[in-house]
Amino acid sequence: MSREKAAKAYLDEEFLKSREGRIVRIMSEYLQPKMKLKDNKINHTVAFFGSARIKPDNGAPLSESYWAAENLAFMIAEWSKTLPDERKLYICTGGGPGIMEAANRGAARANEKTIGLNISLPFEQHPNPYISEELNFEFHYFYMRKLWFLYHAKALVVFPGGFGTMDEMFETLTLIQTKKIEKQNIPIYLYNSKFWNKLINFEYFVEEGLISKEDLKLFNFFDSPEEGFEKLKPEIIKITDHVNSTVFKDV
């Protein structure tokens, strides 16, 4: 009497979720987004970082940041329509509510595809309704999600946020400062200079010898969507002229 065939290893859910299957999960979170982004001809993105807790309601704390992100994303997406296919830009966010929703919303208002890199968390994080269906991703590992934030990015825009936003911003600055990222001239813009200068005394890092004066040139501020767009536009053109999609240096 013949026995029932065992499940193939790549169909064995118990194995895939086990400690031993971790490397397969990590590889999957690299290869599946790579394939889907390639299939959708995504080569250049502008990544938006910011709080999931900021609401669009007028009068809510920092609600104007929501609409600033929505408007800036709309401007970039509209401009992208005028670019050749090989230079088109797509708005990429963490896929959740708040600033992430605002940026995806702005791109959707321009009738452009827009990317959401969600991550499984016990609260706050759920896909917003403005992400393009074919570009809605779900990650388990933060570090794989961060890789895809930066892989195609030709600019980063950082809005007010909490621990997650600080983590994303400072890790990116560290990668550039330590020259672990190919795109040394990638523009990083922080929205609302008053917020950032009250939150972080950047000059104090220099005064105490913890970073160099030159490191303060790795990022800039802007205080309106119009200002951000005018500053970003020439820098994005310049970087897409000289940089491919590779992020990390070969070792």
Asked if 148 contacts 137 with a C-beta cutoff of 8 angstroms, the reply is yes
Mean pLDDT confidence for 198-225: 97
Percent of the chain at pLDDT above 90?
Answer: 80
Place of tokens 């959740």: 96
What are 135-189's pLDDT values in tens digits? 999 999 999 999 999 999 999 999 999 999 999 999 999 999 999 987 878 999 9
Which pLDDT value is given to residue 129?
96
- Is pTM beyond 0.85? Reply is yes
Residue 200 has pLDDT above 70, yes or no: yes
Boundaries of every domain in the chain: 44-242
Is 89 buried (19+), middle (13-18) or exposed (0-12) by CB count in 10 A?
buried
CB of 91 within 8 A of CB of 114?
yes
CA distances from 88 to 79, 150, 160 (A): 9, 16, 27
pLDDT given for residue 164 in this prediction: 94
Helices and strands, number each (H, E), in the chain: 9, 7
Coil, helix or strand at residue 156: strand
Amino acid 176: pLDDT: 93
Reported as a single tens digit per residue, the pLDDT across 122-140 is 876 689 999 999 999 999 9
- Of 124 and 121, more confident: 121
- Secondary-structure class of domain 44-242 per CATH: alpha beta
pLDDT over threshold 50, residue 251: no
Q: Give CA separation, 56 vs 64, 98, 217, 231, in Å.
A: 7, 8, 31, 25
Tell me the pLDDT tens digit for each residue of 36-49: 999 999 999 999 99
CA distances, 176 to each of 117, 130, 197, 216, 240 (Å): 22, 31, 21, 12, 17
Averaged pLDDT score across all residues of the chain: 93
Answer whether 186's CB lies under 8 Å from 153's CB.
yes
The amino acid present at 164, given as its one-letter code, is: G
Q: d(Cα 107, Cα 104) in Å, to the nearest integer?
A: 5
- 16-25 — which CB contacts under 8 Å span 24+ positions? 25/140, 25/141
Q: Which phi and psi (to 5°) does residue 113 adopt?
A: -60, 150
If residue 84 lies in a helix (H) or strand (E), which one and from where to where? none
- Please tell me the distance from the alpha carbon of residue 105 to that of residue 100, in angstroms, as a whole number: 8
CA angle 101-104-108, nearest 5°? Answer: 130
What is the average per-residue pLDDT within 46-67?
A: 93
User: 17 vs 58, which has greater pLDDT?
Assistant: 17
